[in-house]
Structures are given as C-alpha cells and as structure tokens.
Chains A and B, each alone.
Chain A
Amino acid sequence: MIEAVLIFLGLALLFGILLGYASVRFKVEGNPMADQIDKVLPQTQCGQCGYPGCRPYAEALANGEAEVNLCIPGGNEVMIEISEITGLEQKPMAEGAAEPKPKEVAFIDEDLCIGCVLCIKECPVDAILGATKQMHTVIEKECTGCEKCVPVCPVDCIEMRPVEVTTKNWKWPEPQTIQEGK
C-alpha cells in the first residue's frame, strides 16, 4: 500500500517537474492566434475595420474584442477564415462591403500635386514617393489600394485606378463564364 502511494507521489512529482519545466522552456510569446489571423488579413492597412492596421485588428480578434466581419477588403472569404481560426460565429459583411472590388491603386495627377507630403505621411506602406514642394508619385507595385491617401489630399489630385491588365497579369477566363456569355 505504502509503495503504491510512494510510487504515485513520485510520479506526480516527476510529472509536475516536467510540466513546470515545459511551461518555462516552451513558453509561447504573444498570442499565436493573432499571428494566424494576421496572415489571413489582406494587409492593405486601410483601417476600414476601425483599427489602425491589420495587425491591431488581428490582435483585437485574438483577444475577442472585435467582430469577425470588419475586414472590408478581405470580404466574405477572409471573414470565413477568421471565424474558422477564432471559432467565432460567422457574420454577414456590412452592406456594400460583401462584393469584392477589383484591385485598384492610387494615382497622383502630377500636374495638380503641390507637394504637401500629406499623403506620404498617410500611406501605411510608404508607397508614395516625393518631398516637400516636389511632385509626388505612387509606386504602383507597393500600393495596397487602401485609399487612405485620397481624402487627405488638399487638391484632390489622387484617384484610385484599377490595375491595368497586361499580357503578364491577364487571367484565362473561367470556362463557365464563356458559355454564359454566349
């Protein structure tokens, strides 16, 4: 009887130590769920969710402080993915946000630009190039299409333009759409 008690006590101690060690040794920094969600988000850093960027929204989601349907550029797909990761109930997107928009990039009318650098400050990914009183321009490749620069422009010289289709980024249409078209 006493042996059994000792054995179990010993085992309990051993496992306790093991668990204690493991919790220190394999400690996970931060919330891994936030990382997961951050990966799914479109990284436009547009702030349309009400958070200052994709990462803060992901963190808020991971902490259960935010709704799953706030990412407008991500649309339904991202909403579903978020709900899968967080285990929260799926929610329909806000009105007008459900249909995905073709990707657009900012375009600066260089004749109108006064070089106020407001848009440069606003751009979350540093995709606008320019200096004070110098003409600005958008690095199309880096632009995420977040539209943050549009409202800040004092002379309204920024507009969103759809990305030009070239032979390099042209997509073969889906066969069904061909048939429906005919």
Chain B
Amino acid sequence: MRARVVTAAALALATLAARAPSARGEANPVLRFAVDTLVYADSDRVLVVSPQAAVHGRLDRDGGEASARVVLDVISAASVDVVSHATPRFRESRTEVDLAVSKRFGPWLPSAHYRNSSEPDYASSAFGAAIERRLHPDATLSASYDLSLDEVGRSGTSLATWSRALTTHTAEVSLTQVVGPRTLLRGVYTLTAQTGYQEKPYRYVPLFTPDVMASSAAAGVTLDLANFDDYRQAERPPEEVPDLRIRHAFGLRLLRYLGAIHGSLRADYRFYVDSWSLIANSLESELAIPIGQTSRLSLRGRVHQQTGAFFWHRAYVTAPGEIPRWRTMDRDLSPYVTLSSGARYELGLGDFGLYADLEGTYTRYLDYMFLDSRVALIGQLGVRYPR
C-alpha cells in the first residue's frame, strides 16, 4: 500500500514537472519546488529526522494550484514511554503523501486534498475539501472539512490479525479581516470529533494499592521511573480511554505592520477545550525583521499550558483486583507547561530561497510519574526554487 501511494505521489510530481513550462526566467513561474528537513532531538532520548519534498504547479494567478508533498519520518526512541515497559530502543519510519488541488472561480477558491500516511503499526487516509470566499478586499471567509480514517495496529503483528479503527472528523471556519492600513485580524474555530481506538496498544498502566501508597509516602519515597516497579501491583492493565473525544479550538491571529523596521509583529492566541476536560491555552508571537532586500530574520516565542484530562492520575490507586474504568499514562493528557523560543533566517540567492530555523523548548510536567521535564531542540532547513 505504501509503495503504491509513494509511486502515485512520484507520478504526480513527475506529471506536474513534465506538463508545466520551466520556472526559470518567468515573472510568474508555473512550478515551484520545496525541499525541507526537520530534525527533532530531546532529553527524553527521542530523535526524529523528517525530510520533505514538495512541488506546486500554478493553475491560475490567484491562488489556484496543484501540489504534491512527500514527507518521511525516521524515528529513534528510548523515551520513558519505552523504558517504563522494559523494552529496548526502537527505530521505525513513516511515510506521508499529500496531494492537493485548488482553482479560483471569481471570488471563490475551492480546494480538495488527500493524505495517506503509513508506518509499521499505523495506517491513515484522509480526505478533505475547503472553500474560500473573498467577501471584499478586506475580508476573506473560509471553511473546511476533513475526514481521517485510521487503522491502529501493533508492530510485528499484521493489521489483518489485530487492528482497531479511529475516525476523525474536523470542521473549521475562519475569517481574515483587515482592520486598518497596518493591521490584520483572523479568527478561527476548529471542531474535531474522534471516535474509536485512541489508546496506544503498547502502553500499560501501573496500579498501586492504598496501603503501598501510604507506606511509601510515610517513608518519604516519591514514585518515579526508577522505583515504581517495586511498588506497583502485579497486574498492569492496558491503557483505556473513552472512545469519543470532541475537541474545540478557538484561535485569534493579529498581524501588525511595524513601519519603523519595515517588519511585522504576529500574535496568536488559542483556547482549547475538549470532552475529556482537557483545557489548554497557547500564546505565540513572532517578530519579522527584513534585512536588506533579500533576507529576513524572525524571532518568536511560544507558551503552551494545559490541564490534565478528567481521568488523568499521576498514580492510579485501587484495591487489589480492581481496575479503574479509564486509565492512561499518556503524558499529553497530563498537566504541563511548555516554553519555546526560536529564530529563523531567510535568504534569497538568485532564484533560490533558503531558510534555517532553530527552536528550543522546555516542558515542565506537573503531575507525571516518569518525567519531570524535557528539553528539546528542533532544527529546520529548507530550499525553495524559485523563491
């Protein structure tokens, strides 16, 4: 399946390249190529390298285009998720292919896309459509819908032998409004409904009896990755979370031109809440500073804070033989705060555009047994032709 999809994407890329005139020397080039690579490394011993290639073929002069994108994730991990189950470091790769097309019809810009993603224990296909409508020169309204059909498996076991389904519906509406000669404002609402298997099949949840918790607390012992195996009950059931998750996200983007530096300031705020009672606030800001005619420096900062899901517990305390209905060790369902800071430098060299981006993040887990904090570095490089 993966080979077929990658082959289809390669054919799409080749077809676009063969049918369109050369980009070189045209004021409005028909084809645009992009190559990017992201490298993620963190203190939890996770390394991800994600190279990506894309081609965009212009269909009209006002937003219409056909595009194909292929991204490969190569993952190597010995994180606490892995170590806490006494399993060794794993390595795997994942391939994702995106195909998209859009075409302008007067004030309307409809688009459609397809995405296929596969890795040894997970397969996903997604279809989506969007429509954008220019209300007048100062306002653009857009709406989109995506359907993702996922099949979750276990590594080393064929999907025919064991698999679970996860269906994700995503609907989004956004309005971009000019609110002055120097200011843009955008509001976004995203509604996501997920039904099906949302656990990880490799994750098992340690349980503790009240007596053990009391005695360990009395002895001044804090349960962590090094000692939890000494205190837990023998039974360690698999993770179990509700099959339905309804997610709401409200985003606001403010973009302001700064005449003094001929640059701009962008501020994003997102409020998120879902039916698992997870609430999150994300604030991001970026200052873009042009340097000369062909380069630009961007500096940004980000804060993300979230509460835990209603069934999240640092340690699940039950009487022997009792298993809580909902249980998880997914740290993304726990309360935590992440601070990020990064910089990007973009440079134009003839017909080529290049950029380098470096970001550092610090995450403080407020109620997670296996990890207190994580530091990550994310580097991203890219080339565009023509720029």
Do the two chains belong together in a single complex? Answer: no
Which residues of B approach A to under 8 Å, CB–CB?
none
